[in-house]
């Protein structure tokens, strides 16, 4: 008999139906004439209760083996449950133990463990209710991203993880090399001779797939990337990871207005999809982690996002009847406290801020007619601040060359990017979404390290 997902059985299973399940034991209770165990296979928050009778072959021996964490296969018949807490249960007629679990050393016990402790057992923490719910939501959000773009005819492209360019110009890059680090080849200036390295030049792990996405958008019109990116930023905070996933659409024949429209529609779609497909998990987060999770999702889905310019945002912040830790002045980047004030306290819904000073934004963003600002936009959300950053790209060759010079980047390294402006240039725009930050926002989890299966942070690359 084929095995069934426990989630499907709990939802659709009927009495007298024969089933086979596979999973891991969550709990076991032994009574005088029979025993119960709860089995979970990761498909749902809830486990399926299994009733074990002494008539089972090797009953006593099996009871000794089915401790918490053991892996099992159960075949039996569904019956209406007599106890509280579940509609149906399995009356087992066959039980197989695949792998035992020593109750003396198994680190997951019935008590609630701290997230700090669970990070030390990253190979087992996904068996907990909270982390299981996180990764189901993460899966649903991933699926929603692909559905959203595929329905709109976007092409999913796979951009390189190894690159020779720093798209953001931030300099927080991981170098990729196959040099013998104990015997580095050097020039007369004592600098490392990267021409002898694998790629013949200095190479890095990518910080963004945007520039490559622009290349593909000039052939396919609408494209998106969804994959890992890397930042060698030595930040040990609840908001930073060295390896994280980014969603980056790029749209040809599009301006900043179209970019903002797409970003708003995109966020609403993802939240709606997750609410519909992870209702049990989202209710869990609302009860156990953050009691505003469902209200926040409703706020995103059912409100038109406020849209203001950066200059208007500065004026509103200057009028605020509160003191900020970071000063508010035109020309300075908005800090998290400023972003959250606008979204949480002032407008009480998502806000899109556009037209930022060119001095605080990347070289590729389109210069506005005032020669002071660029066609950039950030989506600010309550509780978290910036969740999306995007812009209309500079499609005019002469202005792009000037911007590259102003930001002291190398035009030689970007020759191919400049070529796009020589052959069939067109207005285009896009944005980037940090996927882990989105999942953190959706679930109310306090630390970004708890919304990715294997977090990579300074001094930590376990599992």
- Whether residues 189 and 163 share a domain: the answer is no
Indicate if the pLDDT at residue 342 is higher than 80. yes
- Whether residues 214 and 187 share a domain: the answer is no
Alpha-carbon span 355 to 334, nearest angstrom: 13
- Whether residues 359 and 381 share a domain: the answer is yes
- Whether residues 350 and 291 share a domain: the answer is yes
Residue 299 lies in a domain: yes
Residue 105 lies in a domain: no
Alpha-carbon span 228 to 230, nearest angstrom: 7
Number of domains within the chain: 3
pLDDT of residue 70: 98
Indicate if the pLDDT at residue 230 is higher than 70. yes
Residues 6+ positions from 48 with CB-CB distance below 8 Å: 6, 9, 10, 21, 23, 38, 39, 40, 86, 89, 90
- Whether residues 196 and 277 share a domain: the answer is no
- Residue 413: pLDDT band (50, 70, 90) is confident
Q: pLDDT, tens digit, for every residue of 307-339?
A: 999 999 999 999 999 899 999 999 999 999 999
Indicate if the pLDDT at residue 169 is higher than 70. no
Q: pLDDT, tens digit, for every residue of 110-152?
A: 888 999 999 999 999 999 999 999 999 999 999 999 999 999 9
Indicate if the pLDDT at residue 82 is higher than 70. yes
Residue 199 lies in a domain: yes
pLDDT of residue 392: 99
Distances (CA, A) of 43 to 6, 11, 89, 232, 279: 6, 12, 16, 35, 13
Indicate if the pLDDT at residue 1 is higher than 80. no
- Whether residues 241 and 374 share a domain: the answer is yes
Structural domain containing residue 235: 126-168+208-450
CATH number at residue 67: 2.40.50.140
Instruction: Tell me which residue of 93, 86, 94 sits closest to 10, measured CA to CA.
Output: 86
pTM: 0.95
pLDDT of residue 235: 86
Indicate if the pLDDT at residue 168 is higher than 70. no
Residue 85 lies in a domain: yes
- Residue 463: pLDDT band (50, 70, 90) is confident
181, 206, 231 - which closes a domain: 206
pLDDT of residue 197: 96
């Amino acid at each position: 008999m084929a095995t069934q997902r426990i989630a499907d059985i709990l939802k659709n299973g009927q009495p007298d139906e024969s089933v086979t399940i596979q999973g891991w034991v969550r709990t076991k209770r032994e009574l005088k004439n029979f025993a119960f165990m709860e089995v979970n296979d990761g498909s749902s928050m809830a486990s399926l209760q299994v009733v074990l009778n002494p008539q089972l072959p090797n009953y006593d021996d099996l009871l000794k083996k089915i401790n918490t964490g053991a892996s099992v296969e159960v075949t039996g018949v569904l019956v209406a449950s007599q106890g509280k807490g579940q509609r149906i249960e399995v009356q087992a007629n066959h039980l197989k133990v695949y792998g035992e679990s020593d109750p003396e050393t198994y680190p997951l016990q019935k008590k609630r463990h701290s997230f700090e402790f669970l990070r030390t057992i990253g190979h087992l923490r996904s068996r907990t209710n909270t982390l299981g719910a996180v990764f189901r939501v993460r899966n649903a959000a991933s699926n929603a991203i692909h559905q959203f773009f595929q329905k709109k005819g976007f092409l999913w492209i796979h951009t390189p993880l190894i690159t020779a360019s720093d798209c953001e110009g931030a300099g927080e890059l991981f170098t990729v090399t196959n040099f013998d680090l104990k015997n580095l080849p050097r020039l007369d200036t004592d600098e490392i001779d990267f021409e002898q390295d694998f790629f013949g030049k200095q190479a890095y792990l990518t910080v963004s797939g945007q520039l490559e996405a622009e290349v593909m958008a000039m052939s396919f019109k609408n494209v998106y990337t969804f994959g890992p990116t890397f930042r060698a930023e030595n930040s040990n905070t609840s908001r930073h990871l060295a390896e994280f996933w980014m969603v980056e659409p790029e749209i040809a024949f599009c301006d900043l207005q179209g970019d903002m429209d797409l970003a708003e529609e995109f966020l609403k779609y993802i939240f709606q999809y997750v609410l519909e497909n992870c209702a049990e998990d989202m209710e869990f987060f609302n009860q156990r982690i953050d009691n505003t999770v469902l209200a926040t999702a409703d706020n995103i889905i059912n409100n038109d996002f406020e849209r203001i310019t950066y200059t208007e945002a500065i004026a509103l912040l200057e009028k605020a009847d509160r003191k900020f830790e970071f000063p508010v002045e035109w020309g300075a980047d908005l800090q998290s406290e400023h972003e959250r004030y606008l979204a949480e306290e002032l407008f009480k819904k998502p806000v899109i801020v556009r037209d930022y000073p060119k001095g605080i934004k990347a070289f590729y963003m389109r210069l506005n007619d005032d020669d002071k600002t660029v066609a950039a936009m950030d989506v600010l959300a309550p509780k978290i601040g910036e969740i999306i950053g995007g812009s209309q790209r500079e499609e005019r060759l002469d202005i792009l060359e000037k911007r590259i010079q102003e930001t002291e980047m190398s035009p030689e390294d970007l020759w191919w990017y400049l070529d796009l402006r020589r052959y069939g240039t067109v207005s285009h725009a896009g944005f980037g979404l940090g996927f882990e930050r989105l999942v953190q926002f959706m679930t109310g989890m306090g630390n970004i390290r708890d919304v990715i299966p294997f977090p990579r942070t300074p001094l930590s690359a376990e599992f």
